[in-house]
Structure 1
């Protein structure tokens, strides 16, 4: 099994969602482990549970500290733990944009409503008052705007006759405990998921002018409509165990230089020759803006002059 992703969990209270994440992490095959539980409340029950379970903890009260200073101290503790992802589990602090941006795409939260409905507090009361048939919970990536990041998963929970906020909340909490660990596992795994990686390439390749996708020798292949190919996605090609993007380059000198500078990431693709380079996508740290640049450059190298002239990007 590959190394498990390291996750820090932030709590302010009893930490029931933290506990759900922790116990799920101990199941065979779980792709993450909890390396730190941190809190702005030294008396948080979640800290006591984590300590009892042998998980390192960190506490820093925010009283008397500027919000940014507190966030940066929390950030330093998280990074010192080696965490690669942050899961908010009842962390009752509105985070600064500076903190959030440092964990872009790697910080997630769970919210007790079916977002985009009922951002903020008192979600169950609001769902009942609105006459909704269902409440529920949502796991989403954290952005600078409260409860507004991309949704990773949702579970609807029926509102039954006679429900009040407390009875609905109790059932939604069960759903939260089920949903959060699954979404976290999926998030930390997607950097090595062939389907997800191919989709990331697909979105960027097909955004280029007159691009189309075909299948070539079992590989997703991208070219200009009725024209030449500019990219392939190789997934375990001939059993090499690699997931990579293949793009055109200037020739053997550039190929050799790229491989020399970063032999773990770049390699010479079999059967493609010196005019192509393979770029590993499954190392867990892919620069997707860089991938878009590679695709754009490769597209320009095969685009007809009349098309390239029309799209200077």
Structure 2
């Protein structure tokens, strides 16, 4: 079985959603594990629950610290525990822009409304006052815009006659506990999903001038229109069980240097020669900026001079 994705959960209170994530992580075939529970409140009850379950905890009150200082201190502990994802579970702090940017695509939150309806607080009161037939909950990726990141999943919950914010909230909480673990599992699985990985390469490769895509030897292949190929994506090619990006490099010396620097990630692709390197994408920690840069350099190696001159090199 593949190594489980490491997740840190940040809370400010009772930690019921954290508990739902934690217990789901202990079910067979769950693709993630909780490696840290952190809070901005030392008295948060969820910390005691995590401790009882053997999960490392960390608390740092934010009083007297700037938002950036507090976020940096919390983030340092998250990184120390090896977490690649952060799940916000009742964490009642607005995060600094830099922190959010650094965890883009890997930090998620659960919100008690059917977004885009009712961002912010008092969601159940607002849904009842508006005469809505349903409230509900949403899991979304965290962006700089509060409660407006890409939606990963939603569950509607019927509003009953005579409902108050409290009675509705109690039922929505059941839905939250079901939804959050499933969305987190789906998010971490996609980092090793061949379809998603190929899609990420495709988006970056086809953004280059005059690039097109074909299929070659069963691999997605990218080249300059009516010209040479600059990238391939190998997906379990010849049954090797790997998803890898193949790009052009300067030659044997660079190939040897890359393989020696990280033999798990880089390898010499069979039948391609010294002018190519294979870079695994299925290890769960792809630097997509690096991928874009390697695609760009590989494109420059095959593009006609007039076309390459259009690029700011």
Cα offset, 1:279, TM superposition: 1.2
Aligned partner of 2:232 in structure 1 is 232
Q: Secondary structure at the match of 2:17?
A: helix
Give the corresponding residue for 1:284.
Answer: 284
**Structure 1 residue 161: Cα displacement:** 4.5
Q: Distance in 2 between matches of 1:98 and 1:247?
A: 31
User: Would you say 1:96 and 2:96 are equivalent positions?
Assistant: yes
Deviates more, 1:55-64 or 1:265-274: 55-64
Distance of 2:259 and 2:81 partners within structure 1: 32
With over 3 angstroms needed to count, the CA separation of the structure-2 counterparts of 1:135 and 1:272, relative to structure 1, is: same
Q: 1:41 to 1:261 in 2, by over 3 A?
A: closer
2: CA distance between counterparts of 1:84 and 1:117? 30
Distance change >3 Å, CA 64–CA 278, structure 1 → 2: closer
- Report the counterpart of residue 195 of structure 1 in structure 2: 195
Tell me what 1:274 maps to: 274
Question: Over aligned residue pairs, what C-alpha RMSD do you find?
Answer: 2.2
The answer to which of 107-116 and 131-140 deviates more is 131-140
What is the alpha-carbon distance in structure 1 between the residues aligned to residue 161 and residue 312 of structure 2? 61
Q: Distance in 2 between matches of 1:77 and 1:229?
A: 44
Partner of residue 296, structure 1: 296
Alignment of 1:156-235 (within 5 A): 156-235=156-235
5+ long unaligned stretches in structure 1: none
Please, what TM-score do these two structures have when normalized by structure 1?
A: 0.90
Q: Deviations over 1:226-276 (max 9, x none)?
A: 332221100111111211111122333332333233322221111222222
The whole-number CA distance in structure 2 between the counterparts of 1:128 and 1:272 is: 63
Q: Distance in 1 between matches of 2:224 and 2:16?
A: 52
Q: How does 1:1-313 map to 2 (within 5 A)?
A: 1-312=1-312
TM-score (norm: length of structure 2): 0.90
Cα deviation, residue 25, structure 1: 0.5
Q: Secondary structure at the match of 1:174?
A: helix
Query: What CA distance in whole angstroms lies between the structure 2 residues aligned with 1:40 and 1:124?
Result: 25
**Local SS of the residue matching 2:79:** helix
**1:302–1:65 CA distance, 2 compared to 1 (3 A):** closer
User: 1:162 Cα shift?
Assistant: 4.3
Q: Following the alignment from structure 2 to structure 1, what is the Cα–Cα distance between the partners of residues 253 and 303?
A: 23
* C-alpha separation in 2, matches of 1:160 and 1:226: 63
- Report the CA distance shift for 1:257/1:58 in structure 2 as closer, same or farther (over 3 A): closer
Instruction: List 4+ stretches of structure 1 deviating above 4 A.
Output: none
Instruction: Flag the 1:236–1:147 CA change in 2: closer, same or farther, 3 A.
Output: same
Residue 166 to residue 294, structure 1, CA distance change in 2 (3 Å): same
Once residues 263 and 113 of structure 2 are traced to their aligned partners in structure 1, the CA distance between those partners, rounded to angstroms, is 46
